Amino acid sequence: MIEIENVRKSFGPLEVLKGIDLTVQKGEVLTIIGGSGSGKSTLLTCINGLEPIDSGRIKVDGTEVHARGTDLNKLRTKLGIVFQQWNAFPHLTVMENVMLAPRKVLGIGKAEAAAIAEKQLSHVGLGDKLDVYPSRLSGGQQQRMAIARALAMSPGYMLFDEVTSALDPQLVGEVLDTLRMLASEGMTMICVTHEMKFAREVSDRVAFFSKGVMAEIGTPQQIFDAPQNPETAAFVKMTQN
Amino acid sequence: MFSYTFQWKQALAKLPLMLDGALVTIEIALLSMAIGIVLAVVLTGFRLSNNRFLVAITTTWVELARNTPALFQIYMAHFGVASFGVHFSPYVSLLIGITFNNAGYLSENFRGALKAIPDTQARAARSLGMSAVQAFGYVVLPQMLRIAFLPMTNQMVWAILMTSLGITVGMNFDLYGVTQDLNALTFRTFELFALAAVIFYVMTKIIQIGARLIATRLFRY
């Protein structure tokens, strides 16, 4: 379970998170929608401790992320995160990209790590690209590799930060299909996305962020068909054209 | 007006001695590069730290290494420190001087290479649970060395050539020192130094070609 309590966060004079309260249950798929600068991506990087917070609390399986004694490296093995820019490690093959963290962070042996990598890469449809370098892959393939790389750590949660935003339109589908597959397998996921159709399809709940505040949260039907908040209504209307 | 008679045989007879000297030259160049690379990584780390004192060490080192003659650097490592009662052999002084120069130049190369690697690479590594040291060692460093590889071979060539400055501190068993001594004995000045030049040329050429071969094997991405 991920528990977010009254989290505030500023970059200099700009307050990007103005007291967020949110709980994500095991097995849930939550999508976060909202305009640029609404704080949704920042929240994800705060959840895995890449960004510090100013006040409030975030707990993952009961461990407080920003507490002094917390071993962030250990915590991050539970929280897979995939970014808008996939950040493939260019000097490693696809296989080595996926094997690196299991070997060096979890201390898994080479043969076992290779087996894990092969399994995860096949899972995202890259079983035939194991020994090529990322520069030979399309953006969509690199993004799926990044997903496999995160999954290879067997995380309890997956955080997706606008993972299709930097892709050519014709490559968006293959990445969304991968996310749909994970959702159907029961993976706990928080997806920040601009893909409204996708959000409606896979989400258990949808949260709408606006100017650092969670303006509304509810089932996809509530948010998309009967939004209570006028800002949500305006955003939904605008994005559905 | 041109009464010099070339005596190539006399010079060629000394080739084995000169090749022995060339081995010492290569040894100094390799050692100065190996130590220089390690020092350059440390200096680059200092520069990236937010500690003013450490940044100052790097800045001073780099400025001195790049903006004073290599001859001055080698001189200081021999006669300069001797003023304070520290006496190094010509071999050690030459090694220190060249290493100092290498470290300064390489540190700048590394800094430039690091700038070419997006911050998001380290961020992605950290988000997979790697420590800062692991992220640097497994993700950033290999990419940095690739970008800095060609400048590094240039510096290696330069290190070979800089060994010739050793004669100013009394170094007499590297290629240039040996040639100088043979010249004093035989006065076959042109032949001996031409031969030394050819050996220098062959050595640096081998390094350049070798580096290119290594690069294609090492960096297949």
pLDDT of residue B1: 62
- Does B220 contact A at CB distance below 8 Å? yes
Kindly list the residues from chain B whose CB atom is less than 8 angstroms away from the CB atom of residue A154.
none
Average pLDDT over residues A28-54: 94
Give the residue from chain A lying closest to B119, CA to CA.
Answer: A87
Burial of A72 per CB tally in 10 Å (0-12, 13-18, 19+): middle
Q: For A2-239, which CATH class? A: alpha beta
How far is A208 from A237, CA to CA, in rounded Å? 13
Instruction: Give tens-digit pLDDT for A144-173.
Output: 999 999 999 999 999 999 999 989 888 999
A146: closest chain B residue by CA: B124
Residue A74 in contact with residue A48, Cβ under 8 Å?
no
Q: Which of B118, B128, B142 lies closest to A91 in CB terms?
A: B142
The count of structural domains within chain B is 1
Query: Is residue B1 in some structural domain?
Result: no
Q: What is the pLDDT of residue A241?
A: 60
H or E, element range at A216: strand A213-218
State CA A213 to chain mean position distance: 19
**Under 8 Å CB-to-CB from B183, ≥6 apart: which residues?**
B189, B192, B193
Interface-testing mutation among B128, B133, B140, B220, with chain A (most A C-beta atoms within 10 A): B128
B219 vs A contacts (CB less than 8 Å): 91
Residue B164 DSSP class? G
Q: Are A240 and A196 in contact (CB under 8 A)?
A: yes
Confirm or reject contact between B68 and chain A (CB < 8 A).
no
**Interface probe with B: pick from A42, A63, A87, most Cβ of B within 10 Å:** A87
| A26 phi, psi to nearest 5 deg | -55, 135
> What's the pLDDT at A239?
86
pLDDT given at position B5: 84
Q: Among residues A180, A216, A215, which one has the least CA distance to residue A197?
A: A180
**Cα B161 from Cα B169, distance rounded (Å):** 16
* Domain harbouring B88, CATH code: 1.10.3720.10
Alpha carbon distance B198, B19 (integer Å)? 11
User: What is the H or E stretch that residue A58 is in?
Assistant: strand A55-60
Element (H, E) at A24: strand A14-24
pLDDT digits (tens, 9 = 90+) for A185-235: 999 999 999 999 999 999 999 999 999 999 999 999 999 999 999 999 999
Q: Please give chain B's pLDDT, 221 residues, in tens.
A: 677 888 898 889 999 999 999 999 999 999 999 999 999 999 998 998 889 999 999 999 999 999 999 999 999 999 999 999 999 999 999 999 999 999 999 999 999 999 999 999 999 999 999 999 999 999 999 999 999 999 999 999 999 999 999 999 999 999 999 999 999 999 899 999 999 999 999 999 999 999 999 988 888 77
A94 pLDDT band, cuts 50/70/90, is very high
Which chain B residues in 79-108 lie under 8 Å from chain A, judged by CB atoms?
A: none
C-alpha–C-alpha distance, residues A93 and B115, integer Å: 23
Please indicate if any CB of chain A lies within 8 Å of the CB of B16. no
Q: What is the ipTM of this complex?
A: 0.91
Burial A28-47 (b: 16+ CB within 10 A, else e): bbbbbbbeeebbbbbbbbbb
Q: What whole-number distance in Å separates Cα of residue B176 and Cα of residue B163?
A: 8
Is B128 inside a domain boundary? Answer: yes
Contact A89 B129 (CB under 8 A): no
Rounded to a whole number of angstroms, the CA Rg of chain B reads 21
Interchain contact, B124 vs A83, CB within 8 Å? yes
* Angstrom distance (rounded) from CA A228 to CA A217: 10
Question: Is B3 contained in some domain?
Answer: no
Region of A189 (left: φ > 0; alpha: ψ -120 to 50; beta: rest) is: beta
8 Å CB contact between A161 and A88: no
In the predicted model, is pLDDT for residue A64 greater than 70? yes
Is B130's CB within 8 Å of A105's CB?
yes
**A125, A144 Cβ separation under 8 angstroms:** yes
* B2 in any annotated domain: no
Report the C-alpha gap between A204 and A28 in whole angstroms: 6
Q: How far apart are CA B137 and CA B26, in angstroms?
A: 29
A205 CA: distance to closest CA in chain B (Å): 25
Residues in A closer than 8 angstroms to B138, CB to CB, are: 100, 104
Q: How far off is chain A from B121, nearest CA to CA, in Å?
A: 6
Helix axes B52-67, B15-48, angle to 10 degrees: 150
CA A193: distance to chain centroid?
9
For residue B78, give its domain range.
Answer: 8-218
Contact B219 A135 (CB under 8 A): no
CA A151 to chain centre: 11
Computed from CA positions of residues B30, B34, B37, B40, in that sequence, does the dihedral angle turn out positive or negative?
negative
Q: Is the dihedral of CA B14, B17, B22, B28 positive or negative?
A: negative
